């Protein structure tokens, strides 16, 4: 008989645990939970200096609106007052998608950005040199959801040809993941129509108004759609098992990026 399983979200990923494993994971949780905010905070503090007689100003661009699970560390550090407690005067700018956040970093409108790793690769190709100094997720933690009334017709990724699929913004991490999923399934991004719809309420409304047939979504948007009966999951890259259908091993997705000039402007560059 298959053992009973519990599901938990740890480090930005949904995992299945047997009851025996849950006992172990509960012990690890007190180690994992502080690391949700420590990664962001440690990176910022290391770059601007640990001790300062005045508040250090730090500008952070985030590739999503507040509340997105893939940038949970930033929201937690802010809500818990970790930045202010360490003498940081932090300015946050939340964008619709990662494309705009990466552009803010490269154009020096921000000192750090919350982005998916594909933006670092793309910026390198443009002659920039972004550095990811903290990792937020080791899996994509993104779902491909299909509008509920289309589920009987769209049974797999192969059935997506000709449909309208929403992503946060063109060129964002959700766009890159969608292209990879399609390629692995024998389709091309040109076989579908990609529409930028943002995330959160914007994406939910686009699905409700039949403006899109499917979407690349993250929690809590995915959960909102499922609980409202508006969509069902076609691909779940929140789990390791499902991720292995399209990628090998883990998948570095979101993290904290900065520029080389920020890395070298602190008082102790040798500590980085």
Residue 151 lies in a domain: yes
What one-character-per-residue DSSP string does 152-203 give?
TT--SGGGGTT-EEEESSTTSHHHHHHHHHHHHTT--GGGSEEEE--STHHH
73, 183: one domain:
no
Model pLDDT, residue 248: 84
130, 259: one domain:
yes
33, 120: one domain:
yes
263 confidence band (pLDDT: 50, 70, 90): confident
Model pLDDT, residue 30: 31
pLDDT of 7-20, one tens digit each? 333 333 333 333 33
Of residues 103 and 32, the one with the higher pLDDT is 103
Q: What is the spatial distance between Cα 166 and Cα 200, in angstroms, rounded to a whole number?
A: 12
> pTM for the complete prediction?
0.78
197, 129: one domain:
no
Of residues 266 and 242, the one with the higher pLDDT is 242
pLDDT of 50-94, one tens digit each? 445 566 789 999 999 999 999 999 998 899 888 888 778 899 999
43, 85: one domain:
yes
Q: And the tokens for 34? A: 């502080």
Average pLDDT over residues 129-156: 93
Model pLDDT, residue 38: 53
Average pLDDT over residues 12-40: 38
Model pLDDT, residue 49: 56
CATH number of residue 187's parent domain: 3.40.190.10
Percent of the chain's residues with pLDDT above 70: 77
Residue 258 lies in a domain: yes
Domain that holds residue 77: 7-138+253-271
């Amino acid at each position: 008989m298959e053992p009973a399983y519990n599901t938990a979200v740890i480090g930005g990923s949904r995992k299945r645990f047997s009851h025996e494993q849950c006992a172990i994971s509960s012990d690890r949780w007190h180690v994992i939970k502080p690391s949700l905010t420590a990664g962001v905070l440690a990176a910022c503090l290391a770059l601007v200096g640990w001790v300062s007689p005045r508040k250090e100003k730090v500008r952070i661009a985030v590739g999503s609106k507040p509340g997105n699970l893939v940038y949970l560390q930033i929201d937690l550090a802010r809500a818990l007052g970790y930045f202010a407690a360490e003498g940081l005067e932090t300015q946050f700018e939340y964008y619709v998608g990662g494309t705009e956040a990466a552009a803010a970093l490269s154009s020096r409108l921000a000192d750090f950005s919350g982005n998916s790793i594909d933006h670092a690769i793309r910026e390198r190709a443009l002659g920039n040199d972004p550095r990811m100094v903290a990792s937020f997720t080791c899996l994509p933690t993104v779902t491909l959801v299909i509008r509920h009334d289309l589920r009987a017709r769209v049974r797999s990724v192969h059935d997506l040809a000709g449909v309208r699929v929403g992503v946060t913004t063109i060129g964002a991490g959700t766009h890159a993941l969608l292209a990879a999923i399609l390629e692995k399934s024998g389709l091309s991004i040109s076989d579908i129509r990609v529409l930028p719809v943002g995330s959160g309420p914007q994406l939910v409304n686009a699905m409700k108004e039949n403006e899109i047939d499917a979407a690349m979504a993250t929690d809590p948007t995915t959960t909102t759609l499922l609980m409202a009966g508006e969509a069902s999951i076609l691909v779940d890259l929140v789990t390791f098992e499902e991720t292995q259908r399209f990628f090998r091993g883990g998948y570095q997705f979101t993290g904290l990026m900065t520029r080389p000039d920020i890395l070298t402007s602190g008082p102790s560059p040798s500590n980085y």
